Homo-oligomer: A and B are copies of this chain.
C-alpha cells in the first residue's frame, strides 16, 4: 500500500524539527508506543543495538543539563521528554535470542552498533512522528558526561538526543532547502 498524502506530510513533507514546546505532556505509555513501532525496523541480522534513556523527570533533566551545549540547553530543559538514543557496544550478546538461525557474532565489526543504532534513531524519529509527536534531534552535547551520568552502569554509549513533545508551530524557523535528486543521486 501507499500511504495517503496526509501521512506522507506528517512523516516527511510537513514535519519539522521543533525548538519550542507546548505544555502537552508525553506519557510513559506514549514512549512505549514509539518503541513498539521503532523496534520493528530492520537492522543487520536483527542486531537491534539501539538503547533509549527517556529523561522525563525534573531531577533527571537537571542531571542532563550540564552536558548540553549552550544552544541546546533551554529547549531541552523545556521539552516534556528528552530521549538519549544510545547503543550497547555488547549488542552481540543478544544475538542468540535475536538471530537464532546462525552464530551471528562473528559477522560483526566494531562499527555495527554505531551504524545500526543511527539507522534505528531514524526509525525512532519517524515512529514518534507517526504517533503524532514532534521531535527535536540534537548532537550538540558532551557525550562523556551523558554516558557517565546515565549510561555507565549499563555499558551503553550515547549517539544523539531527541527532544519529544508537541512543538509550537508558530515558533518554527523558516525551513532550509534540501539537495535536489540530481545533486545527491546517480542512476546507473
Contacts and interface: CB of A to CB of B under 8 A. Distances in A.
Interface in A156-174: 159-160, 173
Nearest to A88: B184
Given A186-B54, A187-B31, A3 B7 contact: yes
A29 to B, nearest CB: 10
How many copies of the chain does the oligomer comprise?
2
A50 interface: yes
Contact of A3 (B10, B98, B188): B10
Nearest to A140: B107
A46 B188 contact: no
Nearest to A98: B176
Contacts of A50: 184
B2 A181 contact: no
Q: Chain A: interface residue count, which band?
A: 35 or more
A177 B45 CA distance: 11
A60 B3 contact: no
27 contacts: A1-B10, A3-B11, A11-B37, A13-B37, A13-B40, A17-B42, A31-B187, A32-B181, A36-B181, A39-B179, A41-B126, A42-B125, A44-B137, A46-B176, A48-B178, A50-B184, A51-B184, A53-B185, A53-B186, A94-B183, A98-B178, A99-B176, A107-B140, A115-B159, A119-B119, A122-B123, A154-B186
A79 interface: no
